[in-house]
């Protein structure tokens, strides 16, 4: 299988890459930091010598870079089985007083990255009439919360993107799944003081994506909603 994972150097992206690191799979990985991405790939390759890894750094919040990165992948293969749009960023704040450029930043990073990369990859999936797209949204897309600000707006938009894409791609047998996780222990939570056992593990999200990808062609999980057992923080 050929699998694209963005934001793959840490957190959810790295956990998802680990889950799909099976013999003969080829993973196309992207992140903004070359050193962090290379370190992640080296670790994955050491653990999974029979998986093929190809990686290239890009800032997918910039449309031309997202398109160019997608074209780079298609120069390696014309068949993509799974696309995981995981690239994203969290910036806390309130709409009434956050910096003016925060909304632009959140939309570019959390929505435009998925939009332009998906548009670039889709023709190959549509030609094969097969494929599965996972968009990593957030519970912030389902319920507003204090200090969510433009991050919540962007995740609402990404969920809307997923729903529209799902309808458009039904005739092409391409599945679309929106993933809305709550708090999970990644680098962004490491300095928060929250105990790891209070929130989910990144691997929990990876497990659910993997299982959803293994259903029969006639079944799709449209939404994955996950929260810590004790509820949101």
Burial of 76 (0-12, 13-18, 19+ CB in 10 A): exposed
135 within some domain: yes
Cα–Cα distance for residue pair 27/10, rounded to 1 Å: 15
- Give me 227's structure tokens: 């929260």
233 within some domain: no
DSSP 187: H
Strand segments (E) across the chain: 2-6, 26-30, 52-55, 82-85, 132-136, 175-181, 184-185, 200-201, 223-226
201 within some domain: yes
85 within some domain: yes
Bridge partner list, 7: none
Better-predicted residue by pLDDT, 130 or 193: 130
187: pLDDT confidence band, cut at 50, 70 and 90?
confident
Asked if pLDDT for residue 190 goes beyond 80, the answer is no
Candidates 53, 112, 151, 185; catalytic one? 151
> What value does the mean pLDDT take over residues 83-87?
97
232 within some domain: no
Collapsing DSSP to helix, strand or coil, 215 comes out as: coil
Instruction: Judge contact between 125 and 176, C-beta under 8 A.
Output: no
CATH number of the structural domain spanning residue 9 = 3.40.50.720
**Of 71, 82, 152, 69, whose CA–CA distance to 113 is shortest?**
69
| DSSP calls for 44-91 | HHHH-TTSEEEE----TTSHHHHHHHHHHHHHH-S--SEEEE------
Q: Which of 43-57, 112-126, 171-185, 192-206 is predicted with the least confidence, judged by mean pLDDT?
A: 192-206
Asked if pLDDT for residue 188 goes beyond 90, the answer is no
Q: What range defines the domain where residue 206 resides?
A: 2-226
For the four alpha carbons of 102, 86, 45 and 82, in that order, the dihedral sign comes to negative
Per the prediction, the chain carries an average pLDDT of: 95
> What value does the mean pLDDT take over residues 112-128?
97
**pLDDT per residue as tens digits for the range 17-55:** 999 999 999 999 999 999 999 999 999 999 999 999 999
Cα–Cα distance for residue pair 128/121, rounded to 1 Å: 12
Task: Say how many domains are in the chain.
Answer: 1
- Please give the order of strands across the beta sheet that includes 132-136: 52-55, 26-30, 2-6, 82-85, 132-136, 175-181, 223-226
Residue whose structure tokens are 């809305």: 180
Strand segments (E) across 62-213: 82-85, 132-136, 175-181, 184-185, 200-201
Active-site residue, 151 included = yes
231 within some domain: no
**pLDDT per residue as tens digits for the range 99-115:** 889 999 999 999 999 99
Q: Mention every residue, 6+ apart, whose C-beta is less than 8 A from residue 126.
A: 169, 172, 174
46 within some domain: yes
- Considering the entire predicted model, what is its pTM? 0.95
158 within some domain: yes
């Amino acid at each position: 299988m050929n699998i694209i994972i963005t934001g793959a150097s840490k957190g959810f992206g790295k956990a998802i890459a680990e889950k799909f690191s099976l013999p003969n799979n080829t993973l196309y990985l992207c992140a903004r930091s070359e050193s962090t991405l290379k370190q992640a790939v080296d670790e994955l390759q050491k653990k999974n010598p029979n998986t093929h890894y190809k990686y290239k750094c890009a800032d997918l919040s910039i449309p031309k870079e997202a398109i160019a990165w997608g074209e780079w992948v298609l120069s390696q293969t014309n068949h993509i089985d799974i696309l995981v749009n995981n690239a994203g960023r969290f910036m806390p704040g309130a709409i009434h007083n956050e910096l003016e450029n925060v909304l632009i930043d959140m939309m570019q990073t959390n929505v435009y990255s998925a939009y332009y990369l998906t548009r670039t990859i889709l023709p190959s999936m549509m030609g094969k009439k097969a494929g599965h797209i996972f968009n990593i949204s957030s519970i912030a897309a389902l319920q507003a919360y204090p200090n969510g600000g433009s991050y919540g707006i962007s995740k609402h938009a990404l969920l809307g993107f997923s729903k529209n894409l799902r309808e458009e791609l039904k005739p092409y047998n391409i599945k679309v799944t929106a993933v809305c996780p709550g708090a999970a222990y990644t680098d962004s939570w490491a300095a928060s003081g929250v105990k790891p056992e209070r929130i989910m593990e990144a691997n929990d999200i990876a497990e659910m994506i993997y299982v959803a990808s293994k259903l029969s062609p006639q079944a799709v999980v449209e939404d994955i909603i996950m929260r810590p057992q004790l509820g949101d923080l």
